[in-house]
Amino acid sequence: MLRYLCTLVALAALAVGLAQAPLATVQLNDGSSLDGAVTVSSQVVAVTADGRTRFLERAQVARVDFLGASTLPAAPLAGELDQLLLADGSVLSGRVTMTTAGISLSSDEGRRSFATGEVTAVLLSPQLPVLVRPQRQRRAVLYVADASSNAIFQVDPNSGTVLSSFPAPFTLSDVGACGLAATRQALYLTDAFNTSDVYVLDPASGTVLTSFPKAFDAIDALGFGLNEIIALDYDGDVVSTLDPVSGVETNALFLSDDLIGGADFGSDRLFVTGGDNQLFELDPATGGVLQSFSLPGDGFYTGVAVSGQRLFVGDQTNSTIVELDASTGAVLNTFPAPGSTLCGLAGVS
């Protein structure tokens, strides 16, 4: 209601400039018509004549004919979009607005402006048009923890090319027991054997922002989703969620499968690896197995990363990162990991 009232106030202000507003005949859906200076917003049509302004809902208006062109035949509307009938005979579809400054048409191709003399009529859709614009896809972001160099790397998710790196704040174990999780603001790093804390790092510099005690000792994988840290306890085959500030356990999902190596969450999907080279997708609410895939080869998989819709696993044995189809488990790409002892993998969703 407030938005509607604000629109009325704005149109009333425009109607004060009667001499500048385009003069037109407004054809209503009930067969009647109004002549005057016309302004059109995304919600209402205002017609000013003899010092008085009448406000109409768009659904009440069929078309707006500029004086001298009221006999032009109506063109059929294209779905929910308005139409501009131009003086050269062409017809354009989109969202129409009219002010004292002129006539504008917004469409998926952008925004165009027209002088009154270029337009002979405007056909208004009874419904507000919905413009479908391509969604901007963020590129995948992938981090790797490597014990041989005791460093964290950001790598290109298509080739493995190192984009940046910094030293780990403690010694990473070389048996795949380090956990790494990422957001756009922070990295979370721990190790099942070589630290009793979870470290929170600046993802650009590696600076330690803070740390907190591990909720349990045998955390060998971390992920991040739904504003919580996801921790895999290989000793108890438990996937837990942790408070990202205090590290306190907030929920635990107990599984019967042997879990070890990797966990991550993205696009509302939770993936963990098992000791028999299985990748499980779990119900994040119950821990139930939704589907499982056999991972390729005989490698020791020590990390899982989800970035947007993309799923990666880290093979320590062969020092490679493998991208998988998240629905079928099929291998989409394989590229070298930095260093020789990949022990953790993280993606940003």
339 and 219, same structural domain?
A: yes
Query: Quick one: average pLDDT of 113-125?
Result: 77
Give the model confidence (pLDDT) of 47-74 as tens digits.
887 777 777 787 788 888 775 444 444 4
- 98 and 172 part of one domain: no
Low-confidence winner among 6-15, 266-275, 279-288 (lowest mean pLDDT): 6-15
Do 116 and 151 fall within a single domain? no
Q: What is the 3-state secondary structure (H, E, C) of the chain?
A: CHHHHHHHHHHHHHHCCCCCCCEEEEEECCCCEEEEEEEECCCEEEEEECCEEEEEEHHHEEEEEECCCCCCCCCCCCCCCEEEEECCCCEEEEEEEEECCEEEEEECCEEEEECHHHEEEEECCCCCCCCCCCCCCCCCEEEEEECCCCEEEEECCCCCCEEEEEECCCCCCCCCCEEEEECCCCEEEEECCCCCEEEEECCCCCCEEEEEECCCCCEEEEEEECCEEEEEECCCCEEEEECCCCCCEEEEEECCCCEEEEEEEECCEEEEEECCCEEEEECCCCCCEEEEEECCCCCCEEEEEEECCEEEEEECCCCEEEEECCCCCCEEEEEECCCCCEEEEEEEC
161/301 same-domain check: yes
Can you give the pLDDT at residue 321? 96
174 and 316 fall within a common domain: yes
Do residues 308 and 176 share a domain?
yes
Query: Considering its fold, how many domains does the chain have in total?
Result: 2
Q: Is 134 a domain residue?
A: no
Q: Region 83-107: what's the mean pLDDT?
A: 77
In a domain, 319, yes or no: yes
pLDDT over 70, % of the chain: 81
pLDDT tens digit string along 163-201? 999 999 999 998 878 999 999 899 999 999 999 999 999
Residue 135, in any domain of the structure: no
Would you say residue 182 lies in a domain? yes
Q: The domain that contains 199 carries what CATH number?
A: 2.130.10.10
pLDDT band for 16, please (50, 70, 90 cuts): very low
For residue 13, what pLDDT band results from cuts at 50, 70 and 90? very low
Are 68 and 167 contained in the same domain?
A: no
Same domain flag for 342 and 200 = yes
Q: Are residues 104 and 166 in the same domain?
A: no
Pair 75, 146 in one domain: no
**191 with 289, same domain?**
yes
* Domain containing residue 226: 141-348
Let me know whether 75 and 173 are in one domain: no
233 band by pLDDT with thresholds 50, 70 and 90: confident
Higher pLDDT among residues 235 and 166, named by residue: 166
Is residue 24 included in any domain, yes or no? yes
Residue 21, pLDDT score: 54
Residue at which a domain ends, from 78, 95, 123: 123
